[in-house]
Structure 1
C-alpha cells in the first residue's frame, strides 16, 4: 500500500519514505507504526492502544513507544513543539495530523517517479554528455544566421556548461566525503519452495540457479530454470542430503556435496540445460564433515572445506582433477568453525576467507592461489559472517550484525562502510549475481518458541509463542520463573515469564547487536549468566543491569555455577580445553586440574558431570566413571552448551539423527525413551518438567537485489 503524506510518499511494502529528492529506508517497527497512523488519522491514540495494535500486545515499555515516535518524527523533520505530522497530547497519547490519502496504482502510474539523489546526479551527467554531443552542437550552430549572435550564444552556452561541470565536480567531492552512503535497492524473489532455501549459485549464462532447499532437516539440491520456472532435483537416494553446489566457469559442469552422518562425498557431473550426466565421485571426505566445494577459474582445480567430523574446525584444500593431488592451502589459524566460509575472486585466482580469530572476532583474509600468499585484509569486532568479494573485487560484501537485516560493503581495509541492501527480515548467505551488478541472499525467519512437558502426565503446553524467536529457556531454582532470550523488541533481550500465570516482562535494556549462545540461573536466583561467542555476562535478575566478566575474549564453552559465588567455564589453551573458576566477589580466576576438559556443576552435587582429556565421562561430587553403554561422553557438549543432564538415576540429552529428539534414560529400568521430537538442541529439566524449544518453520526464500549501481 502507498500513501501520500503531505510532500512524502510512504510505501509499506518497500518500507520507504520518499520526498522530492530523497528516499529513506525505514525500520520495520517504524513501518508498522506509520501504517497504523495512516489508517487512523485525526484520532488521539494512547500508548496502550499502540502497544496492542503495533506491537501486537508484546510486552514493551512506554519508553520504547516514545523512542519510536521520536525516530518517526526525525525522518519527517518534525518539531514536537510545533508539530506538522505527529502531535502529542499529554496523558492521552498521539495524533497523526498531516494530510494523508491512499494512492491508487492507476494514479501512481500517471505521476512521474520520484528521483533519488543518485538518479539526479546521473541525470545531470547525462545532460552534460548530451549537450556536448557534436550533433547537438552542430544543430545549435546552424540555427544561428547572425555571426555576432552566434558567438554571444556560444559564449553563454560554454559559460553555462562550465557552471554545470563545476556543480557536478563539487557534488562528486561532497559525495566522496560522505563516509557511509546508503544504496536503497528493491528485490525480487527467485524461489518460493516450502522450507529454507540457501546457498544460491547462478549458472554463468544466467538461465539457471542451483540452491539448497532444507525441509524436515533434509538437504535437497535443486536446479531451477529462471525463464520457464522448470526445476529438477539432484538426488543420491533416500536420507542422503545433497548440496551446496557450484558451477564451472563455462556452465557445463556442477560440483556438489552428498552426505549423511555416516558418509561424506563430493561429486561432479555434466549439465546441459536441465539434463544431467552421470555423477562422478571425486573425493571422500570424513564422515560428519558437511563442507562445501567450488570450482576455481580452472575447471580442473577445485577448492573445498572439510573437517574431522562433529564440531571440529574446517580446513581448506585444493583438489587437482588432472593428477588427483590434494593440497592443504595456506590459511588462517583455525578457531571455532575454522575456515568454512570462502569465496573465489570474480576475475583472479584469489580466495576471500572469513575466519574467526582467538577472540572469536571475524577476520577477512585474501589468499593468492598461485603464490599461496595469505594476507589479512581487516577484522570486524562484531558478530558478523560470510564475506564475499564485490563484483569488482575491490570491496568486501557481508551480512550486518546480528540479527542481520542488511548487506554491507567495505573497502579492502575495512573502511568506507556502505549499505547494499536493507530489509525487514533476516538475511543469510550473500552471493554475487552473474549480471555483475546485483547480489543474491536468503531471507526468511525460523520462529523459535518455548514449550514445557510434564514428564509424569506427558501433557505439553506452550510457554512462549510470539511471532519472533524465543530461545535458551531455563528454569529458575527458587520459584516458577523462566528466563529466555527473546527478539520481541527487535534485538536480543533477556525476558522473564511465570510458568503458571505466563505473565512476562523484559528484564534487560541492551538495545544492541549482541548474540547469546547459552543462558543459566545462579543457584540463589540473584543472577543470570549469558554466554556470547567470546564473553560471559553476569545479569542482575532484579535490575537487568549486566557486567562482563574480566576474562580474556576467547572461545568459551560449558558454563555452570559451582556455587552462587563461583562460575565454572572451559577455554582452549594450546589446543586443549581447560576448566577455570571465576570468583564473583573478587574477580579472581583459578584453574582446575588440567586433567579435566569440562565440568558441569549442579545444585545437587551427585548430578555433577566431568569429562577428562581422554574423553571419558564421570559423575558425582567426587568423580566416578560412568560405565553405562547407553550414555555417551560425546553427548556432554553440543556447540557451546552442556547437552547431557543427570537427575539422580535419570539422564537426558538431545540426539540429532534423521529427526532431532530429546531422549531420556533410566538407570533403574534400563529403558531409553524419546521424550519429544525437536530440531532445537537446548533444553532444561527440573521437578519432572522438561523445558525445550520448538521451531515453527517459516519459508526462507532466495532474493535478488535490483537496480544496484556497480562498484
Structure 2
C-alpha cells in the first residue's frame, strides 16, 4: 500500500519515504509510529494512546516517546525541510498535520462517465462523489485490537481452528520449550479440555473444518504414521505410513475427503506438497516440478475451510516468496502471486477467498479477484502460526505470538563451567570469538537482524547499507576482515575501517563462504551448475574454479588439503588424489553452519551428545562439550581451544490472540 503524505510518498511494503528522487528507509519504530499516525490521521494522539498503539502497552518513558517522534520528524525534515508533518498539541499530544491519500485507487471512475452524459445535476453529482469516496475509504480489511485468548505458562503454538471456533493448540513450558499438552478450546463457550494425546509423539496436529476430527503425525520407535483422532469417540485410526517423510505439516480439504501434506525427505531436500485421498489412501505429489527442485520448495500450505482452494508458498529466492493457489479438487492452477519478502504463516478467510499472510510482525492479505498484497496491520511480536474462524457470528483470526530471546554463554572445556557473556531481551545468534576478547554476533537488538560486536562488555552495531539477516559469516586468520554472502553475492567487511566491499556478484549464487589458508582467496558452495558443488575464487586472477564433482556445500583448506560437507549427504569428506573419501561418518549436514578446523582438530556437533573434536593426525574423536540445557547449535570454539561460546535460548512466554476482522468489498 502507498500513501501520499503531502509531497511525500510512503510505501508501507518497502518501509520507505520518497520525495522526487530522494528516498528514506524507515527504521522499524519510525515505521510503526507512522502507521499509527496514518490510521488515526484525524486525531490528536496522547502519549497514553501512542503507548497503547505503537508500544502495545509496554512501559515506555517520556524520553523514549520524544525520541521516536523526533526521529520520525527527521526523516520528513530531510526530504521536505521547514514543512511540519507531525504537530505537537500542547498538553494533548501529537497529530499528523498533512493530508493523507491512498495512492493508486481509481476513484470516481463511474462519476466521470455520468458527468459526460450530463445525467445528474451538480447537487446530485456532489452527493454521489461523497458516497463513492466513503465506499473507497472502507475498501480492504478493518481490524480491531488484539484480544488475548490464552494465558498459559510458556507458549501456545501450532494453532488450527474449525469453521465455528473450536481452537486446537499445543502448549510448551517456558523452562524447557518442550511440547507438554494438546488442548482443544471452545472459544464461544470459553471452555478448554486437555486431549489424551501426547504432543511429543502425536504432533503436527490440525483440526478438521467441521471440528470433529484431528489429523496428526504419530512418531515413535523410528516409525511415522499419519493418524486421525475422532474427538467424540476418543478413538485413533492409523491411516498412512510416512516413514520416508520429515518436517510434516498437514491441512484438511474442505470436504474432509482428503488431507494435504507438506514434507521433505531430509533437511537437505526441498519441501513438496502431496494429497492423500482418505477413502483409497492413495498419495499424489501436487507441487514443485523437477525443474525447480533446487529451490527450498513449497514450505507453507493452507486449504480453504469452505471452498475448493489450496494455497502453498514456495521459496523463490532470498526474501522472495511465490504463493500458488490451485483448485483443491481438480488441482488446476487458479493464481500465482510474487511476494517481495519471506512468509512464516498463511491461512484463508472462513467464507471469502481472502488469503492472509504473516511475515514476522506484519500481517497482509490478498483479497479475492485482486492482484495486490495489502498490509493489514503491524504487530508487536512475531507470528508463529495463524488460523481463521468465526466466533459469535464474527470473522476472526487467531494468532500465536511469542518472541524468543537468547544469551551468549562461554563453556570452559577444562573446568566444565559456563558463564554468561551477553544477555538481553533480543535474539542473539551466530557468535564468533576474536583473539582480542571481542565477540561478533548477529542480533535483533534494534528490531532488524544486524551484525554486532561486543567490545569491553558493551555491544556496538556494525553499520551496513542493508539488513545483515541470519547470515553465516567467516573471519580471516588475521581478524581484519569478515566475509559473507547476501542474495548470492559475496561481500567483505573491514573491521578497522568499518567499510564494505563487494567481492563478486550474485550470478555465482554463493553460499557458506570461507577464507582459504592464504587469508585472501575464498571457498564457497554454489548450485550455479544445477548441483551443489564447492568452488575456489582466486581474487587476484578473478577466476572461479570448481573443486568437487560429486557434491559440496561448505569447506575449508587446511595445509593445502580440502575438507568439506555435502548438502544432500551426511559426513565430513576430503579429497585424496582427487578421490572423495568420507572421514567422519556420524557428521550431520547441519554442521555446515558452525564446524571449524583449529590446529589439526576438527570441531563439530552431534545432536544426541554435544560438540566433538576429531584429531586429523590420530583420527581420535573426543566429546569436548556435552549438550547444555536449552542449547542452540550455534557456537564458536576459541582459537586457544580452551573455551566454546554458544547460544543459549531463554524461557519464552507467548499467548494466542484473537483479531476480529471485517472485510469490505
2:42 corresponds to 1:21: yes
2: CA distance, partners of 1:650 / 1:524: 19
Could you say which residue in structure 2 is the equivalent of 1:571? 526
Measure, in 2, the Cα distance between the counterparts of 1:368 and 1:703.
Answer: 30
Is it true that 1:590 corresponds to 2:545 in the alignment?
Answer: yes
Q: Distance in 1 between the 2:566 and 2:246 partners?
A: 24
1:373 aligns with 2:332: yes
In structure 1, distance between residues paired with 2:314 and 2:245: 21
1:410 counterpart residue number? 366
Q: Note the residue ranges of structure 2 that are not aligned, 5 or more in a row.
A: 1-31, 94-99, 102-120
> Cα deviations across residues 11-33 of structure 1 (Å, max 9, x unaligned)?
x99x9668683498969996499
Q: Does structure 1 residue 632 correspond to structure 2 residue 591? A: no
Q: TM-score, normalised by structure 1?
A: 0.71
Cα distance, 1:346–1:250 mapped onto 2, change above 3 Å: closer
Quote the residue 1:43 is aligned against.
Answer: none
CA–CA distance in 2 between the matches of 1:409 and 1:599?
38
Question: Residue 90 of structure 2 aligns with which residue?
Answer: 98
Aligned to 1:255: 215
Q: Radius of gyration: which is bigger?
A: 1
Instruction: Give the match for residue 444 of structure 2.
Output: 487
Deviation at 1:355, TM superposition (A): 0.5
Could you tell me which residue of structure 2 aligns to residue 222 of structure 1?
183
After TM superposition, list the pairs within 5 Å mapping 1:178-193 onto structure 2.
183=142, 185-193=144-152
**What per-residue deviation string (whole Å, max 9, x for no partner) do you get for residues 552-586 of structure 1?**
36875432111432221112256531112334456
Alignment partner, residue 662 of structure 1: 611
1:611 touches 1:633 (CA, 8 Å); kept in 2?
no
* Pair 1:502-2:457 in alignment: yes
Quick one: structure 1 residues 315 and 596, their matched pair in 2 at CA, closer, same or farther if it must change by over 3 Å?
A: closer
Other-structure match for 2:72 = 71
1:699 shift after superposition: 1.1
Deviates most, 381-390 or 600-609: 600-609
Q: Assess, with a 3 A threshold, how the Cα gap between structure 1 residues 410 and 456 changes in structure 2: closer, same or farther.
A: same
Question: Does 2:420 correspond to 1:462?
Answer: yes
Comparing 451-460 and 441-450, the one that deviates more: 451-460
Residue 383 (structure 2) pairs with residue 422 (structure 1): no
**Deviations, residues 515-534 of structure 1 (Å, cap 9, x unaligned):** 22312212332321234564
- The structural deviation recorded for 1:85 is 9.1
1:679 aligns with 2:631: yes
Instruction: Call closer, same or farther: CA 1:20–1:600 in 2, change over 3 Å.
Output: closer
The alignment status of 1:388 with 2:347, answered yes or no, reads yes
Rate the CA distance shift 1:339–1:625 in 2: closer, same or farther, 3 A: closer
Whether 1:352 and 2:311 are equivalent positions in the alignment is yes
Structure 1 partner of 2:660: 706
Q: Secondary structure at the match of 1:185?
A: strand
Q: Find 1:295's aligned residue among 252, 258, 262.
A: 252
Q: CA deviation at 1:265?
A: 2.0
* Deviates further, 568-577 or 437-446: 568-577
SS of structure 2 residue aligned to 1:283: strand
The correspondence for 1:235, drawn from 188, 193, 197, is 197
Corresponding residue SS for 1:167: helix
More strand by share: 2
**Aligned-partner Cα distance in 1 for 2:323–2:191:** 36
Change (3 A) 1:20 1:541: closer
Matches within 5 A, 1:332-343: 333-343=292-302
**Count of matched residue pairs:** 591
Structure 1 CA distance, aligned partners of 2:348 and 2:332? 17
Distance 1:315 1:520, change over 3 A: same
Counterpart of 2:297 in 1: which secondary structure? coil
Residues 226 and 239 in structure 2, CA contact (< 8 A), matched pair in contact too: yes
> 1:581: which partner in 2?
536
Q: Which shows bigger deviation, 345-354 or 18-27?
A: 18-27
Q: Which moved more, 1:519-528 or 1:539-548?
A: 539-548
User: 2: CA distance between counterparts of 1:543 and 1:412?
Assistant: 51
Q: Does 1:451 align with 2:409?
A: yes
Query: For the structure 1 residues 457 and 673, does the alpha-carbon distance in structure 2 shift closer, same or farther, using more than 3 Å as the test?
Result: closer
C-alpha separation between the residues in 1 aligned to 2:50 and 2:507? Answer: 35
Matches within 5 A, 1:18-97: 21-22=42-43, 31=55, 38=62, 54=64, 69-71=70-72
Per-residue CA deviation, residues 625-675 of structure 1 (Å, 9 max, x unaligned), is 8777xx43542444xx33433445644323334xx8434566687543543
Is 1:550 matched up with 2:504? yes
Structure 1, gaps ≥5 residues long: 1-11, 39-49, 56-64, 87-95, 102-116, 119-157
Q: CA 1:299 to 1:376, structure 2 compared with 1: closer, same or farther past 3 Å?
A: closer
Alignment partner, residue 264 of structure 1: 224
Asked if structure 1 preserves the Cα contact closer than 8 Å seen for 2:532 and 2:567, the reply is: no
In 1, the alpha carbon distance for the partners of 2:125 and 2:197 equals 64
- Secondary structure of 2:448's aligned partner: coil
